């Protein structure tokens, strides 16, 4: 099923000058991080036009660290993670429907322009992924155990018995009681939380160095959510892998993530160390996200409303700052700058980047005087 | 148990409705049995012998009894034993119904089995290949042919096949059915054209069905999971995609197999094969009630059996069915 003639979908990346995040630290010739994404673009040609789901995304992640990616629905979080996994180019049909450019380096190996079959061999072995809805993500006709066995045997030349032992061991590790019995159960016989645990067991069966969790708790009960997050954190400590957690909910990742990346309309509008982004956010959109976050210490009714307006079109992206139609401060920067020029990511110190035309001092003032007191 | 109930209900329906549909009184039936110009005394005698003078429920009971234990008829001096399963004697030829059907079964079963294998394999394979590259030249051509297959009547395709491959280029000469065990090669050669004709219609249906099912399953989340494991695309498609897409096909296959007698009816006519289908046509044309009854019952039995097989297969394929 692999055919290198189809790989022209990976067009050469844009010139470095056009790169949206030519920050000095990343241009420096220092050693690449374990996962290095540079100016990633994932576009889908459709009947309505070119959908720019991810449009110039740059970030990096070290082993043992956790990156949280947040943003509202449609901001390109899943498309980004599927791009890292090579899952936009897994089949011939997919390849004909996507245009990707930029760089994704896993331990130095470039994946965007790589042969899809090479990426396939990394998938499940060096990088793995768990999905939002474990019921639909598991095959209904095969037992949980056989699905884990399959994941193990793709990359390990072992007999079924050994693989089965490994599956039971993994089920035990993720906290499934009586794993030697449950291993033969089918997904519909598991509860939601158990299913997600089984998915995690399946993803980790080959000790991947990178784990991507795309909204791993959204489909679960609140009580189970915390358990699953704890489990991911424990496993990360144990295996020392790099983890990307994707969510709508800033609260979920605030304590879990080392770094945070906020996406809006297929781009990064703010990123940096988690405590910086969380406690000193620099972008009006991040303020809005924080405002829409449910908080335990507040009355439910007092909760701030979600960011007003609707997500931007990914086909006709608003000119200038993509957030400008919804931004309460769109008129603060002079000369209508906000509507004509796209703001680049700029560093505010300590690896904290944000993309807004307002002067950093101005934003600092608005945050401390107007926003923070209301949260 | 439920099955038996259904079968007997169907029998009952057939038994009572068929003569009425044919618009015949018992006198007329008896008259048919005797043939030309019977005297009233003859009619009365035949009615008595065949039990046509009894109330209908008794007749039904006798009929059922005949199927399970056989019947002894006493016609004049010689007594006749109608063996289990006894569906009676043809009104026209006075031959026992069941042995006659039985002798024709191998023809129809050969036709049906060969065609079924052919259409499932070719239909599903075409559907899968089409689904893998929707919009490709292969896909468009296959779906175009499938559309033709679905819309062209078998009279036409069968006659066309005969005209081309028997008369124009005599690759498959016309010959009578040869039993499989006598000469497997001749058996297959006689049946190739009927197989292809019958399978063409169905494989077109199955190609479209499989294509639609595959396109749907290939967009499921568990396909993404299978790819995320690093499985080769071929395994993703077959082990994860096709496996799930096959369930609805099994259901349809069971029903089609049950109704296949209908398809065989036309094919046997076109290729002048002496199978059960042809037997049914003859029986209907001759208004030969016992023969019609026997064939209809066999068809009903076949449908019920196929449904049973589908249920079993379904449970084997989908573990969620097994539990509930
Ligand atoms: N294969 C595709 N073809 C066309 N458009 C696509 C495709 N995949 C994703 N998109 C579009 O890309 C945009 C980003 O989708 P994505 O799934 O990444 O959002 P998300 O941030 O994960 O949202 P959510 O929080 O709802 O999961 C969406 O508008 C979606 O419609
Ligand atoms: S650039 Fe303008 S519109 Fe965009 S976030 Fe800053 S102030 Fe708001
Ligand atoms: Mg998503």
What are the extents of the domains in chain B? 2-82, 99-323
The model's pLDDT over A78-122, given as tens digits with 9 standing for 90+, comes to: 999 999 999 999 998 899 999 999 999 999 999 999 999 999 999
CA A211 – CA A110 distance, rounded (Å): 18
Q: Mind spelling out the 3-state secondary structure of B182-202?
A: CCHHHHHHHHHHHHHHHHHHH
Q: Mind spelling out the 3-state secondary structure of A300-357?
A: HHHCCCCCCCCCCCCCCCCCCCCCCCCCCCCCCCHHHHHHHCCCCCEECCCCCEECCC
Residue A77 C-alpha to ligand 3 middle, in angstroms? 6
Which has more pLDDT, B156 or B217?
Answer: B217
**N-to-C CA span, chain B:** 19
Supply the pLDDT for residue A139: 96
**Measured between alpha carbons, how far is residue B40 from residues A170, A342, B34, B43, B93 in Å?**
88, 106, 11, 5, 22
Domain A35-126+208-374 in this protein, CATH class: alpha beta
The model's pLDDT over A168-196, given as tens digits with 9 standing for 90+, comes to: 999 999 999 999 999 999 999 999 999 99
What pTM did the predictor assign? Answer: 0.82
Per-residue tokens: B21? 């549909």
CA A112 – CA A127 distance, rounded (Å): 15
Cβ-Cβ contacts under 8 Å for A292 (sequence gap 6 or more): A303, A304, A305, A306, A307
Cβ of A320 below 6 Å from ligand 2: no
Of A214, A217, A327, the C-alpha closest to A265 is A327
Cβ-Cβ contacts under 8 Å for A94 (sequence gap 6 or more): A87, A88
CA A167 – CA B322 distance, rounded (Å): 24
**Candidate from A91, A124, A188 with C-beta closest to B229:** A124
Give the CA count within 13 Å in the CB-facing half-sphere of B187: 14
The model's pLDDT over A307-339, given as tens digits with 9 standing for 90+, comes to: 788 889 999 999 999 999 999 999 988 888 899
- From chain A, pick out residues whose CB is under 8 angstroms from the CB of B237: 1
Supply the pLDDT for residue A28: 45
Residue of B nearest to A83 (CA): B228
Q: Which of B133, B139, B226, B229 to mutate to test the interface with A (most CBs of A within 10 A)?
A: B229
The model's pLDDT over A8-53, given as tens digits with 9 standing for 90+, comes to: 444 444 444 444 444 444 444 456 799 999 999 999 999 999 999 9
ipTM of this predicted structure: 0.87
Contact A327, A355 (CB under 8 A): no
* Interface touch A1/B232, C-beta < 8 Å: yes
The model's pLDDT over B144-166, given as tens digits with 9 standing for 90+, comes to: 988 888 888 887 888 888 888 87
* Interface touch A136/B221, C-beta < 8 Å: yes
The CATH number of B99-323 is 1.10.3720.10
Contact B239, B246 (CB under 8 A): no
A353 beta partners = A271, A347
Distance to chain A for B2, nearest Cα, Å: 28
* Interface touch B229/A136, C-beta < 8 Å: no
* Interface touch B227/A91, C-beta < 8 Å: yes
Cite the DSSP H helix spans in chain A: 24-27, 77-84, 92-95, 116-122, 134-137, 144-155, 160-173, 179-182, 192-204, 222-239, 250-254, 274-279, 284-291, 337-340, 360-366
CA B107 – CA B161 distance, rounded (Å): 19
Q: Which residues form the pocket of ligand 1, taking CB atoms under 6 Å from any ligand atom?
A: A 44, 46, 51, 53, 71, 73-79, 248, 314
Secondary structure element (H or E) that encloses residue B269, with its range: helix B260-270
Per-residue tokens: A159? 């007999």
CA A138 – CA A131 distance, rounded (Å): 10
Residue A133 C-alpha to ligand 2 middle, in angstroms? 35
Of A69, A83, A105, the C-alpha closest to A256 is A69
- Residue spans of the domains in chain A: they are 35-126+208-374, 142-206
- Residue A325 class from Cβ within 10 Å (0-12 exposed, 13-18 middle, 19+ buried)? middle
Residue of A nearest to B136 (CA): A93
* Interface touch B233/A188, C-beta < 8 Å: no
Which one-letter DSSP state was computed for residue A18? G
* Interface touch B132/A92, C-beta < 8 Å: yes
Supply the pLDDT for residue B81: 74
Which one-letter DSSP state was computed for residue A17? G
CA B303 – CA A174 distance, rounded (Å): 49
Which has more pLDDT, A157 or B101?
Answer: A157
Strands B71-74 and A267-273: unpaired
Distance to chain B for A230, nearest Cα, Å: 23
Task: Report the residue among A48, A78, A82 best suited for mutation to probe ligand 1: largest number of ligand atoms under 8 A from its CB.
Answer: A78
Q: Which residue has the tokens 């065990």?
A: B181
Helices (H) and strands (E) in chain A, counts: 15, 12
Supply the pLDDT for residue A1: 42
Residue A215 C-alpha to ligand 3 middle, in angstroms? 7
């Amino acid at each position: 099923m692999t055919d290198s003639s189809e790989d022209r979908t990976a067009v050469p990346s844009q010139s470095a000058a056009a790169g949206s995040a030519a920050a000095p630290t990343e241009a420096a010739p220092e050693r690449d991080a374990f996962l290095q994404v540079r100016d990633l673009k994932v576009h889908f040609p459709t009947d309505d036009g070119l959908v720019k789901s991810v449009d110039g995304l740059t970030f990096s992640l070290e082993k043992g660290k956790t990156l949280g990616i947040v943003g509202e629905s449609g901001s390109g979080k899943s498309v980004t993670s599927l791009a890292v996994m090579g899952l936009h180019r897994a089949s011939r049909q997919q390849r004909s429907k996507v245009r990707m450019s930029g760089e994704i380096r896993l331990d130095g190996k470039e994946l965007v322009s790589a042969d899809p079959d090479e990426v396939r061999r990394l998938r499940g072995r060096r990088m793995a992924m768990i999905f939002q809805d474990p019921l639909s993500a598991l095959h209904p006709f095969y037992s949980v155990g056989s699905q884990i066995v399959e994941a193990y045997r793709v990359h390990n030349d072992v007999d079924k018995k050994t693989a089965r032992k490994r599956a039971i061991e993994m089920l035990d590790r993720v906290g499934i009681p009586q794993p030697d019995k449950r291993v033969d159960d089918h997904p519909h016989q598991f509860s939601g939380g158990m299913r997600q645990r089984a998915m995690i067991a399946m993803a980790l069966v080959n000790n991947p160095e990178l784990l991507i969790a795309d909204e791993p708790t959204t489909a679960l009960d609140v009580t189970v959510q915390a358990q699953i997050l704890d489990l991911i954190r424990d496993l990360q400590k144990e295996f020392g892998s790099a983890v990307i957690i994707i969510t709508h909910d800033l609260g979920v990742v605030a304590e879990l993530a080392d770094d945070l990346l906020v996406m809006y309309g297929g781009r990064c509008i703010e990123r940096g160390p988690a405590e910086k982004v969380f406690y000193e956010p620099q972008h009006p959109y991040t303020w809005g996200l924080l405002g829409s976050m449910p908080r335990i210490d507040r009355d439910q009714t007092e909760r701030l409303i979600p960011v007003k307006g609707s997500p931007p079109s990914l086909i006709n992206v608003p000119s200038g700052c993509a957030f400008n139609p919804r931004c309460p401060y769109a008129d603060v920067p002079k000369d209508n700058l906000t509507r004509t020029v796209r703001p680049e990511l700029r560093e505010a110190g300590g690896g904290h980047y944000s993309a807004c035309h307002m002067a950093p001092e101005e934003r600092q003032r608005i945050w401390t005087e107007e926003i923070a007191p209301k949260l | 148990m439920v099955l038996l109930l259904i079968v007997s209900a169907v029998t009952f329906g057939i038994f009572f409705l068929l003569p009425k549909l044919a618009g015949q009184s018992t006198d007329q039936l008896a008259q048919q049995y005797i043939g030309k110009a019977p005297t009233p005394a003859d009619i009365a005698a035949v009615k008595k012998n065949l039990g046509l003078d009894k109330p209908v429920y008794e007749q039904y009971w006798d009929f059922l009894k005949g199927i399970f234990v056989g019947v002894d008829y006493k016609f004049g001096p010689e007594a006749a034993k109608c063996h289990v399963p006894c569906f009676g004697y043809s009104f026209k030829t006075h031959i026992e119904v069941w042995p006659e059907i039985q002798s024709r079964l191998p023809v129809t079963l050969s036709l049906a089995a060969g065609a079924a294998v052919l259409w499932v394999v070719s239909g599903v394979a075409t559907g899968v290949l089409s689904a893998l590259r929707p919009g490709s030249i292969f896909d468009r051509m296959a779906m175009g042919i499938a559309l033709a297959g679905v819309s062209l009547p078998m009279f036409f395709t069968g006659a066309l096949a005969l005209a081309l491959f028997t008369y124009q280029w005599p690759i498959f000469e016309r010959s009578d059915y040869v039993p499989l065990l006598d000469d497997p090669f001749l058996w297959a050669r006689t049946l190739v054209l009927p197989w292809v004709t019958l399978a063409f219609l169905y494989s077109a249906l199955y190609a479209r069905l499989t294509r639609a099912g595959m396109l749907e399953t290939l967009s499921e989340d568990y396909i993404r999971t299978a790819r995320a494991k690093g499985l080769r695309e071929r395994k993703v498609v077959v082990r994860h995609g096709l496996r799930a897409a096959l369930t609805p096909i099994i259901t349809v296959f069971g029903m089609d197999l049950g109704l296949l007698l209908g398809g065989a009816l036309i094919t046997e006519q076109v290729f002048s094969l002496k199978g059960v289908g042809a037997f049914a046509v003859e029986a209907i044309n001759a208004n030969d009630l016992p023969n019609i009854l026997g064939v209809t019952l066999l068809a009903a039995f076949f449908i019920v059996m196929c449904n049973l097989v589908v249920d079993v297969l379904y449970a084997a394929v989908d573990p969620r069915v097994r539990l509930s």
